[in-house]
Amino acid sequence: MFEVLEANNLAPDVRYLRVRAPKIARRRKPGQFVIVRASSTGERIPLTIADADATQGWIALICQGVGKTTRQLNTLGAGDRIPDVAGPLGMPSRIERYGNVVVIGGGVGTAIAYPTAAALKQAGNRVVAIIGGRSREYVILQQEMQAVSDEVYPTTDDGSLGYHGLVTDKLADLIATGPPIDLVLAIGPIPMMRAVADLTRPHHIETVVSLNPIMVDGTGMCGGCRVEVGGETRFACVDGPEFDAHLVDFDLLTRRNRAYRDFEQRRLEEWETAQAGISQ
Amino acid sequence: MNELTRKERMQLSRVTMPEQDPDSRRQNFTEVNLGLTPELAIEEARRCLMCRRPVCIDGCPVEIRITDFIGLVAEGEFDQAAKVIKEDNSLPAICGRVCPQENQCEGACVLARKDKPIAIGALERFVADFERDHNLMAAASPIPRTGRRVAVVGSGPAGLACATDLARFGHDVTVFEALHELGGVLVYGIPEFRLPKEIVRTEIAQLEDMGVEFVTNAVIGMIDSIDDLLGEEGYDAVFVGVGAGLPRFPKIPGENLIGVYSANEFLTRVNLMRAYLADSDTPLLELRGRNVAVFGGGNTAMDAVRTALRLGAAQASIIYRRSEQEMPARLEEVHHARQEGVRFRMLAIPVEFLGNADGFLKGVRLQRMELGEPDEGGRRRPVPVPGSEWLEDVDVAVVAIGNSPNPLLGKTAPDLEETPWGTLVTDEATGRTTKEGVFAGGDIVTGGATVILAMGAGRTAAASIHEYLRTGVWDVPDEPVEVPG
Ligand SMILES: Cc1cc2nc3c(=O)[nH]c(=O)nc-3n(C[C@H](O)[C@H](O)[C@H](O)COP(=O)(O)OP(=O)(O)OC[C@H]3O[C@@H](n4cnc5c(N)ncnc54)[C@H](O)[C@@H]3O)c2cc1C
Ligand code: SF4
Ligand code: FES
């Protein structure tokens, strides 16, 4: 059992969970994830380790409530327990001195990008962060990003905070007017990552994305997380989750992530009905 | 007492294992075989000729004293019989259910020539179940502790057997398991209707009673490397029993369509994650009324196809590239599958999976094969027949064409030498790897094999780990090592 030490909402339906896991905290590297099971009948889902403190023995998970499991996790508060947390899993982000790096986070993607941004900064890169959201309340970790970046550009679809437009609009600006970019790291919804890849491809800017296929074990045992990169099948949980954005088959990823949509919808509705019953 | 003459005994026929009726069991996940009654067990045991040279024992990979235990069964001394088996096999309730007896003890039995070998597997299962159901499992007697610590990586049959013996030697044993449940293939692969999970849990509870510690969610190589275990974690030796868990795919177009599962994924969703139960949050594609094709001819393929039937598939087929004789599955599973209505299509391979616009599998292009010259293993090699392709409708395909070792652990321990197939190099007699203090056994060494071989390898390694801890000598010892009773 893994104890929740602290929990609070960062945005509507986006929760920060600080979880006691001393061993994982010590071993994890930026870009890695854990597999979490929220209950004894629960499914296994991957969540990126958004932060960790080795001396205090905790890891931070940032969870967007989209289905039953993530909603369930988002009801947890300090003192609650998570039955299973396994990790760290996946390949760590490649941290090098690239030069000028642009880190793009869309929605909760910002939480996933944050530890890698911090490590890139520490490795001596100039880090520019573009963090986007639908509107101001969906832009998360602005202060944290500020602390590890040379420049931070929040963007919102409705203009309620920062740049009025998409993260790709801001990136296009930077490509056109800023110093040459050596690496783009983009983490967020699939359409966003695809748009970033399409934008940087003609400029030959090395671009890395973190993929989020459906997983089961997270150790390379089931192949459920298959993605295609450069025409080759890879297991995202062990070969990734980060891949060369210009080689990723985003269509395939989009389709495969929809495999269980009906089931997920049904489960969510059942759970919400049950929750409503409890709170009455 | 066995008053019958040899000749009379040879006239008797083999008892039939009582089983659930195919029509009803096709709809449930409870065990197919119901087990022998004490009367049936005695009747069967009395058929045994008590051969002076019991060839059945030669056929058993761990050399259970078969005649001794069968003699005790004939006399109704079931708990004594269980003790005899347990001297050589620590997991008889499991092996009695899943061993390929027709290739082992029963295949060797002199009565096999008359097509009615003694039902050794059924008897083994009977005495183990009898012992468990009557709470006769011996409580662990306190053992003097040695103070030495051993880490066992993986909780499949190899790891469990190794841990059992190490605990009996008095060592402090910690088993690390990557998944959230213990048992390896026994829980994530083999379905409930063939091996009830309660049996695996009982075995593990016994180990816990003996003081063995279990750590789940511990992916060794990621959270601790083998060097960490031997270094800062303070273990004196490590046993690696991580199995062969990397699924193979045929590498044909369309294999990433939704609906093409590896057998590992399909079975893990159903068994480990219990997708067959209404309250499980783990999804599985709808199988009710659908066409399911399973590719392969081993136990894994049989388990997958019979699982598909139980989940409501309208048609569930086995598609295998060789002929039925070459299928590596246990005979009983093939027989049960056929009774349940599985369709067998031999001598065919998939060459392409076809899908709809949303990326869901809709069909498969198959190609006919014919048997050519024998390969290195002596089985006739299947060769494609040119121009013999045809299309079939399929909604869900399960690929069960074998597993390779998972490279995850090996990548973090470069000094563990691997074969070109990714299995670990070990000394067969002792289970020593190329790294001092590290032993290995089971599927990670042999590639996908059997429960009994994994268990045997775990025990062999436990004996040499004990020897290593006692002497501190890593070189191969001269005297044979002893296995605890
Ligand atoms: C579906 C199926 C049906 C089968 N049916 C039969 C049958 O009827 N009869 C028969 O004799 N054999 C059968 N087999 C084969 C048999 O199950 C295996 O040969 C046997 O389980 C191998 O045992 P093992 O202990 O080596 O590995 P496994 O049972 O594979 O156990 C390995 C364990 O190690 C864990 N692990 C892996 N990596 C790590 C890591 N890095 N850190 C920590 N833990 C790790 C795994 O999660 C797993 O729990 C079947 C296999 C399958 C897949
Ligand atoms: S070979 Fe068959 S008949 Fe002979 S002892 Fe073994 S089980 Fe009995
Ligand atoms: S999640 Fe099972 S192999 Fe990646």
Give the C-alpha separation, A243 to A187, whole Å: 11
Give the C-alpha separation, A125 to A102, whole Å: 10
Do residue A130 and residue A212 come from a single domain? yes
Predicted local distance difference test score (pLDDT) of residue B476: 59
Give the C-alpha separation, B299 to B315, whole Å: 19
Q: Which amino acid residue places its CA nearest to atom 6 of ligand 2?
A: B56
The first and second tokens of residue A28, run together, are 């994890």
Identical fold for domains B6-133 and B149-245+405-471, yes or no, is no
Residue ranges of the domains in chain B? 6-133, 149-245+405-471, 248-402
A43 touches A218 (CB < 8 A): no
Boundary (domain end) residue, out of A89, A118, A140: A89
ipTM, interface predicted TM-score of the complex:
0.94
The first and second tokens of residue B135, run together, are 């709470």
Predicted local distance difference test score (pLDDT) of residue B317: 97
**B408–A220 CB contact, under 8 Å:** yes
- In this complex, which of B180, B258, B280 lies closest to A84 when CB atoms are compared? B180
- In this complex, which of A41, A83, A264 lies closest to B283 when CB atoms are compared? A264
Q: For residue A242, is it within any domain?
A: yes
The first and second tokens of residue A102, run together, are 């642009």
Mean pLDDT, chain B, whole residue set: 93
Segment B416-441 shows an average pLDDT of 94
Choose among B110, B99, B90: nearest CA to B60: B99
Predicted local distance difference test score (pLDDT) of residue A277: 79
Do residue A78 and residue A117 come from a single domain? no
Taking the Cβ of residue A220 and every Cβ of chain B, the question of whether any pair is shorter than 8 Å is answered with yes
Residue range B6-133, CATH number: 1.10.1060.10
Predicted local distance difference test score (pLDDT) of residue B3: 74
Predicted confidence band at B480 (pLDDT cuts at 50, 70, 90)? low
CA angle B77, B81, B86 (to 5 degrees): 155
Q: For residue A272, is it within any domain?
A: no
Q: What are the Cα distances from residue B39, in Å, to B12, B36, B73, B111, B484? A: 15, 8, 10, 21, 32
Do residue A139 and residue A236 come from a single domain? yes
Choose among B105, B37, B19, B30: nearest CA to B332: B19
Q: What is the b/e burial string over A103-139, where b = at least 16 CB atoms within 10 angstroms of the residue's CB? A: bbbbbbbbbbbbbbbbbbbeeebbbbbbbbbeeeebb
**A68–B219 CB contact, under 8 Å:** no
Segment A190-196 shows an average pLDDT of 96
Predicted confidence band at B197 (pLDDT cuts at 50, 70, 90)? very high
Q: For residue A268, is it within any domain?
A: no
B2 touches B72 (CB < 8 A): no
Taking the Cβ of residue B232 and every Cβ of chain A, the question of whether any pair is shorter than 8 Å is answered with no
Predicted confidence band at A89 (pLDDT cuts at 50, 70, 90)? very high
Q: Work out whether the CA dihedral B201, B204, B206, B211 comes out positive or negative.
A: negative
Helices (H), B351-450: 407-411, 443-446
The first and second tokens of residue A196, run together, are 């970033």
Which of the residue ranges A101-115, A263-277, B173-187, B314-328 would you say has the lowest mean pLDDT? Answer: A263-277
Which of the residue ranges A115-119, A164-168, A224-228, B7-11 would you say has the lowest mean pLDDT? Answer: B7-11
Boundary (domain end) residue, out of A42, A70, A89: A89
B153 touches B438 (CB < 8 A): no
CB atoms within 10 A of CB B246: 22
Taking 60 as the threshold, does the pLDDT of residue A207 lie above it?
Answer: yes
Predicted local distance difference test score (pLDDT) of residue A274: 87
Give the C-alpha separation, A113 to A223, whole Å: 25
Do residue A230 and residue A177 come from a single domain? yes
Helix axes of A167-177 and A190-200: crossing angle, nearest 10 degrees: 20
Q: Which amino acid residue places its CA nearest to atom 3 of ligand 3?
A: A220
β-strand B315-319 against A183-187: which pairing, if any?
unpaired
A7 touches A15 (CB < 8 A): yes
Do residue A85 and residue A195 come from a single domain? no
Give the C-alpha separation, A205 to A183, whole Å: 6
Which residues on chain A are in Cβ contact (under 8 Å) with B261?
224
- CATH number of A186's domain: 3.40.50.80
Choose among A36, A32, A44: nearest CA to A222: A44
Which residues on chain A are in Cβ contact (under 8 Å) with B222?
27, 87-89
Find out whether the beta carbon of B272 lies less than 6 Å from any atom of ligand 1: no
Give the C-alpha separation, A131 to B13, whole Å: 77
Which residues on chain B are in Cβ contact (under 8 Å) with A252?
256, 359
Span B248-402 CATH architecture: 3-Layer(bba) Sandwich (3.50)
Helices (H), chain A: 22-27, 68-73, 109-122, 142-148, 167-177, 190-200, 236-239, 250-257, 261-279
Predicted local distance difference test score (pLDDT) of residue B478: 52
Which residues on chain A are in Cβ contact (under 8 Å) with B358?
255, 258
B404 touches B422 (CB < 8 A): yes
Predicted confidence band at A280 (pLDDT cuts at 50, 70, 90)? low
Predicted local distance difference test score (pLDDT) of residue B11: 85
Predicted local distance difference test score (pLDDT) of residue A226: 97
Q: What is the pLDDT of residues B273-312, one digit of tens each?
A: 999 998 999 999 999 999 999 999 999 999 999 999 999 9
Do residue A112 and residue A230 come from a single domain? yes
Strands (E), B65-138: none
Q: Which residues line ligand 3 (CB under 6 A)?
A: A 215-218, 220-225, 235, 237
Do residue A109 and residue A81 come from a single domain? no
Q: What is the pLDDT of residues B105-161, one digit of tens each?
A: 999 999 998 889 999 999 999 999 999 999 888 777 778 899 999 999 999 999 999
Predicted local distance difference test score (pLDDT) of residue A215: 96
Do residue A43 and residue A112 come from a single domain? no
Predicted local distance difference test score (pLDDT) of residue B30: 94
Predicted confidence band at B484 (pLDDT cuts at 50, 70, 90)? low
Predicted local distance difference test score (pLDDT) of residue B141: 75
Predicted confidence band at B18 (pLDDT cuts at 50, 70, 90)? very high
Q: For residue A168, is it within any domain?
A: yes
Q: What is the pLDDT of residues A237-276, one digit of tens each?
A: 999 999 999 999 999 999 999 999 988 888 898 888 888 8
Predicted local distance difference test score (pLDDT) of residue A178: 83
Taking 90 as the threshold, does the pLDDT of residue B379 lie above it?
Answer: no
Predicted confidence band at A162 (pLDDT cuts at 50, 70, 90)? confident
CA distance B447 to chain A (A): 14
Give the C-alpha separation, B240 to B154, whole Å: 7
Do residue A123 and residue A79 come from a single domain? no
Taking 70 as the threshold, does the pLDDT of residue B1 lie above it?
Answer: no
Taking the Cβ of residue B261 and every Cβ of chain A, the question of whether any pair is shorter than 8 Å is answered with yes
- Fold for domain B149-245+405-471? FAD/NAD(P)-binding domain (3.50.50)
Q: For residue A232, is it within any domain?
A: yes
Choose among A222, A277, A211: nearest CA to A244: A211
Q: What are the Cα distances from residue B178, in Å, to A278, B163, B174, B273, B410? A: 35, 16, 13, 15, 15
The first and second tokens of residue B323, run together, are 């002929």
- CATH number of A56's domain: 2.40.30.10
Q: Is the peptide bond before A241 cis (omega within 30 degrees of 0)?
A: yes
The first and second tokens of residue B117, run together, are 């070998």
Q: Which residue has the tokens 């001297």?
A: B87
Q: What is the pLDDT of residues B307-326, one digit of tens each?
A: 999 999 999 999 999 999 88
Interface test with A, best of B176, B177, B180 (most A CBs within 10 A): B180
Give the C-alpha separation, A48 to A87, whole Å: 10
Do residue A79 and residue A117 come from a single domain? no
Give the C-alpha separation, B482 to B129, whole Å: 28
DSSP secondary structure, B197-251, as one string = HHHHHHHHHHHHHTT-EEE-S--TTTSS-HHHHHTTT--SEEEE-----EE----
Q: For residue A169, is it within any domain?
A: yes
**What one-letter code names the amino acid at A217?**
D
The pTM of the full predicted model, rounded to 2 decimals, is 0.94
Q: Which residues contact B330 (CB under 8 A, 6 or more apart)?
A: B98, B100, B101, B102, B299, B302
Question: Least CA distance to A85: which residue of chain B?
Answer: B217
Predicted confidence band at A11 (pLDDT cuts at 50, 70, 90)? confident
Choose among B75, B78, B22: nearest CA to B46: B75
Q: What is the pLDDT of residues B58-68, one digit of tens each?
A: 999 999 999 99
B229 touches B143 (CB < 8 A): no
Segment B409-414 shows an average pLDDT of 87
Give the C-alpha separation, A73 to A276, whole Å: 16
Taking 60 as the threshold, does the pLDDT of residue A115 lie above it?
Answer: yes
B159 touches B458 (CB < 8 A): yes
Which residues on chain A are in Cβ contact (under 8 Å) with B245?
219-221
The first and second tokens of residue B214, run together, are 């279990």
**A221–B282 CB contact, under 8 Å:** no
CA distance A123 to chain B (A): 23
Do residue A114 and residue A219 come from a single domain? yes
Taking the Cβ of residue A68 and every Cβ of chain B, the question of whether any pair is shorter than 8 Å is answered with yes
Q: How many domains does chain A have?
A: 2
Which of the residue ranges A180-194, B220-234, B411-425 would you say has the lowest mean pLDDT? Answer: B411-425
CB atoms within 10 A of CB B46: 20
Predicted confidence band at B479 (pLDDT cuts at 50, 70, 90)? low
**What one-letter code names the amino acid at B85?**
I
**A41–B277 CB contact, under 8 Å:** yes
A35 touches A87 (CB < 8 A): yes
Range of the domain at A27: 2-89
Q: Counting ligands in written order, which one lies closest to the CA of residue B119?
A: 2
Strand partners, B58: none
Strand partners, B439: B239, B432
Taking 80 as the threshold, does the pLDDT of residue A94 lie above it?
Answer: yes
Do residue A111 and residue A250 come from a single domain? yes
The first and second tokens of residue B159, run together, are 């790891």
Give the C-alpha separation, B200 to B198, whole Å: 5
B353 touches B379 (CB < 8 A): no
Taking 80 as the threshold, does the pLDDT of residue B53 lie above it?
Answer: yes
Find out whether the beta carbon of B112 lies less than 6 Å from any atom of ligand 2: no
Q: Which residue has the tokens 């026929």?
A: B13
Helix axes of B66-74 and B38-47: crossing angle, nearest 10 degrees: 130
B263 touches B292 (CB < 8 A): no
